[in-house]
C-alpha cells in the first residue's frame, strides 16, 4: 500500500473539505485507521481528542489486553457503510464552485495517474 501523490492529495483534500476519516478511507479503499495514522504522520489532525487525555495503560506494552468476554470486540472490517445516493441529471450546486475546483484537480490527478 503505497501512498501515491494523488492518494495523499485526495486524502488531504477530502480531510480538509470536512470529510471523515472513515469516508476517505472507504473512498480510497483503506481502513479509517490507515487514514488517521497517515494523517497523524503528516502532522495533520483535527483535534478531536487531546493527546494528553490519559496516559493509556501502563506497565503493559501489550496493547492486546484481555478484557471480559462480554466486552470482547470482534474485528469488524465491513466496508459498505454510507452509500452515495444516485443523483439525477439535474445539477446540484447550491453553493459556490470552490469545492468543484478542488475536486476537479483531484479527479484530474486521478485521471492522470490512472
Partner DNA sequence: CCCTGATTCGC
Partner DNA sequence: GCGAATCAGG
Binding site for DNA (CB under 7 A): 1-3, 19-23, 30-34, 36-41, 45-49, 51, 53-54, 56-57, 61-65, 67, 73, 75, 77, 81
Smallest gap from Cβ 14 to DNA, in A, equals 9
Question: Judged by CB, which is closer to DNA: 75, or 112?
Answer: 75
Smallest gap from Cβ 83 to DNA, in A, equals 11
Smallest gap from Cβ 11 to DNA, in A, equals 10
Q: Are the beta carbons of 15 and 48 closer than 8 angstroms?
A: no
Question: Judged by CB, which is closer to DNA: 2, or 91?
Answer: 2
Q: From CA 27, how far away is CA 4, in angstroms rounded?
A: 15
Q: From CA 19, how far away is CA 17, in angstroms rounded?
A: 6
- Cβ burial of 112 (10 Å; 0-12, 13-18, 19+) is exposed
Question: Judged by CB, which is closer to DNA: 76, or 93?
Answer: 76
Residue 83: half-sphere exposure toward Cβ, Cα within 13 Å: 3
Question: Judged by CB, which is closer to DNA: 71, or 90?
Answer: 71
CB count, 10 Å around CB of 109?
Answer: 17
Amino acid at each position: 500500500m503505497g501512498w501515491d501523490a494523488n492518494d495523499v492529495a485526495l486524502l488531504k483534500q477530502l480531510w480538509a473539505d470536512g470529510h471523515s476519516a472513515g469516508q476517505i478511507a472507504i473512498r480510497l479503499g483503506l481502513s479509517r485507521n490507515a487514514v488517521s495514522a497517515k494523517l497523524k504522520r503528516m502532522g495533520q489532525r483535527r483535534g478531536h481528542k487531546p493527546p494528553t487525555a490519559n496516559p493509556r495503560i501502563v506497565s503493559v506494552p501489550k496493547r492486546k489486553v484481555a478484557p471480559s468476554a462480554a466486552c470482547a470486540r470482534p474485528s469488524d472490517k465491513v466496508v459498505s457503510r454510507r452509500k452515495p445516493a444516485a443523483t439525477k441529471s439535474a445539477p446540484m450546486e447550491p453553493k459556490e464552485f470552490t469545492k468543484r475546483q478542488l475536486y476537479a484537480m483531484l479527479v484530474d490527478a486521478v485521471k492522470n495517474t490512472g
